[in-house]
Amino acid sequence: MILESVRKALASRTPPRPVRPGPAAAGAPPTMPADAEGLFEMFRDRLREVGGNVERAADPAGIRDAFAHVLRTHGAKKVWIASSPLLDPLDLESVCRAEGAERSRVLPSEKPLDLDVSVTGADLAVAETGSVAHLAKPGEGRCYSLLATVHVAILPLARIVPDLDAYLRWLAPIAAEGNRSCATLITGPSRTGDIEMILTMGVHGPKATHVLVQG
């Protein structure tokens, strides 16, 4: 039994060699912005650095405009929109119709490979890395943010947290409670450098991502 082998291995009387102290641990962690504006700016800059798009609008009308722009930019025809208290009031379906796109009701079990755009909420955004966090839940399966050619994440300004520690503090009780099977941290489009280190987007996941921040 492996646990037995582990216990035997640890029963050795010789302690492992201590780690030599390296160069003096001089620097402190970078300071994060303290206010919502600063957090938004850092989030926007860092996500743009890795090829993601960020737009901000003060009100639902502005978000609808930004969404319309996304649909036009990508010539979207087939759009999947999550149903949630965050997204329903925005009535993005009417924006689709106005832009000549169809709202798809496809289910994950139908393995939708042909979605042009998918829209989900984001549970959190992380300024340090330009990431959005998505917890898979009823009405927002895991696959949509992955299979569509373009992924749009919409969230209120207040959900932008400073750093990865804040994200993990959010995740820990959810994981401990155990009611949800999958949280994903998404930072920009899918990418690879496997061919001669030439950076290419959209390998298996979306080729483009848009984060629309309301507030």
Partner 1 sequence: MHLTPPTFIRNSEAALADAHLRGAIGAATDRFAGNRSRAVAERPDWEALRTQARAIKDDVLAHLDRYLEQFEAKVIERGGKVHWARDAAEAREIIVGISKRSVTEGAVPAAAMAAKSKSMTGEEVHLNEALAAGGIDPVETDLGEYIIQIAGETPSHIVMPAIHKTRGDIAKLFRDKLNVPMPEKAEEITALARKILREKFVQAGIGISGVNFAVAATGTIMILENEGNGRLSTTLPRTHIALMGIEKIVPRVEDLAPFLRLLPRSGTGQRLTSYQSFITGPRRADEEDGPEAFHLVILDNRRTEILADPEARESLACIRCGACLNVCPIYQQIGGHAYGWVYPGPIGAILTPQYVGLPNAADLPYASSLCGACKDACPVKIDIPHVLLHLRKLVKEGDPASPAATPGRPARPAGRPSWAERAVFRIWARVLRSPRLFRLGGWIAARLAAPLAEDGRIRNLPAPFSAWTDTRDFPAPAKESFRDRWYRGIE
Q: Which of 44, 46, 64, 159 binds partner 1 (CB under 8 A)?
A: 46
- Local structure of 161: helix, strand or coil: strand
Least separation in angstroms between residue 95's CB and partner 1 is 24
Residues 86-145 that bind partner 1 (CB under 8 A): 107-109, 111, 113, 129-131, 136-139, 141-143
Site for partner 1 in 146-165 (CB under 8 A): 146, 164-165
- Pick from 62, 157, 191, 215 the residue near partner 1 by CB under 8 A: 191
Q: Does 75 bind partner 1 (CB under 8 A)?
A: no
Give the span between the Cα atoms of 52 and 48, in whole angstroms. Answer: 5
Nearer CB in complex with partner 1: 66/115: 115
Show the site string, 8-37: x = touches partner 1 by CB under 8 A, - = not. xxx-x-xxxx-xx-xxxxxxxxx-------
- List the one residue out of 157, 213, 196, 187 whose CA is nearest residue 48: 187
Spatial strand order of the sheet with 208-214 comes to 53-57, 208-214, 150-156, 117-121, 78-81, 102-104
C-alpha torsion 143→146→150→151, nearest 10? 70
Chain centroid to Cα 207, Å, comes to 14
Q: With binding defined as CB under 8 A, does residue 84 bind partner 1? A: no
Interface residue with partner 1, options 101, 154, 160, 183 (CB under 8 A): 183
Cα 200 vs. chain centroid, distance in angstroms?
A: 19
Q: Which amino acid is at 173?
A: P
Residue 189 interacts with partner 1 (CB under 8 A)?
A: yes
**Of 63 and 150, which CB lies nearer to partner 1 in the complex structure?**
150
68 vs 146 by CB, closer to partner 1: 146
- Across-strand partners of 75? none
